[in-house]
Amino acid sequence: MRVLSGIQPSGTLHLGNYFAAMKQHIELQEDNECFYFIANYHTVTTIQDADRLRQLTQNVALGYLAMGLDPQKVNLFRQSDVPEVTELAWILACVTGKGLMDRATSYKDKIAKGLPPSMGLYCYPLLMAADILIYRSDVVPVGKDQVQHIEMTQDMAGYFNNTFREVLVRPEPRLNEAPVVPGVDGQKMSKSYGNTIDLFMAPKSAKKRIMSIKTDSTPVAEPKSPETCNVFALLKLMATPDEVAEWEQRYRAGGHGYGEVKQRLVEHYERIFGARREALADWTARPDDVEDILRTSGRRARAVAQEVMEDVRDACGIMVAK
């Protein structure tokens, strides 16, 4: 099965990125043909500093490799290494009605957050659909909030196939069970909120950040609610089911403070991510090897994209010099 996903290089990788996407991506590499691209074209809608975008793109590659992505099993590449994707986005735009674009909730959400309404932001679903369709992807792992993007991609594939001929493969969403990961302030963990716990933090910095997680003022002796506790929500992501059940009983019984749970979360963070700091340092010291991985994967991905674009052009009547 061919799996496709994109990762935006929009900031430092954090626990929300890992548990909502990275973890599933790495697990899927064992039994599938995976195409994971670093979505630098998409990121230009929000980051318009060349040096920063280059560095963030590199950081995503380093983070995935450090967390265990196997470049022998996975195609990890830059979106911009496959320029055909922008060509397909234009052709999709020619068969897609404005009404579909107007219904994109992601555009409305981003405008509500104060992002300037550029045409790049408005046309974001076209490029996302091209990202998926150009590799004839079977499955796209997404959260529930992203299902509309896949539905729009399915619609666009249908518009093209009905207008010309059957060329593009209809992709299907793969709903993951990724939870909403709370930040230190209790809101969804997000770079835009400044509430993240980053991956690969130094031990002292990680502990300080975790100990700052917002909790209520329930006294130590009183029972506490695991359902509403941000620390418990993060602990559930890192601890074994047996330990989670034990902590849940302790919450309901009372007699412990939030500091104890935070300290246990610090230990789990160090167990999972502390061991990856050395891997990150190793990959960081080998920039030529990282670049070789991106370029090699990019060439493989582009070979697939070029085959698809030949079929697309032929169906449309577009001719190019060879």
- Which residues are CB-neighbours of 112 under 8 A, at least 6 positions away? none
Same domain, 230 and 295: no
Same domain, 8 and 62: yes
Domain membership of residue 222 (yes or no) is yes
Domain membership of residue 192 (yes or no) is no
Out of 23, 98, 144, 191, pick the active-site residue: 191
Here the tokens at position 262 are: 């935070």
Helix 287-316 crosses helix 84-93 at what angle (to 10 degrees)?
A: 40
Q: What is the DSSP string of 45-75?
A: TT---HHHHHHHHHHHHHHHHHTT--TTTEE
Same domain, 144 and 32: yes
Out of 110, 207, 224, 262, pick the active-site residue: 110
The predicted structure's pLDDT at residue 107: 84
191-218 pLDDT, tens digit each = 888 999 999 999 999 999 999 999 999 9
Mean pLDDT throughout 84-103?
Answer: 96
| Strand, coil or helix: 302 | helix
236-277 pLDDT, tens digit each = 999 999 999 999 999 999 998 999 999 999 999 999 999 899
Same domain, 156 and 174: yes
Out of 98, 108, 144, 188, pick the active-site residue: 188
Domain membership of residue 195 (yes or no) is no
For the sheet with 2-7, list strands across it.
Answer: 74-78, 33-38, 2-7, 139-142, 172-175
Same domain, 226 and 292: no
Domain range enclosing 255: 200-281
- Number of domain units in the chain: 2
Here the tokens at position 111 are: 């405008």
- 110 classed as catalytic: yes
pTM of this structure: 0.92
CATH of the domain at 268: 1.10.240.10
Count of all residues that appear for the chain in the document: 322
- 98 classed as catalytic: no
Answer yes or no: is pLDDT of 143 > 80.
no
Q: Do residues 265 and 235 touch, judged by C-beta distance below 8 A?
A: yes
CATH of the domain at 147: 3.40.50.620
Answer yes or no: is pLDDT of 65 > 80.
yes
170 — alpha (psi -120 to 50), left (phi > 0) or beta?
Answer: beta
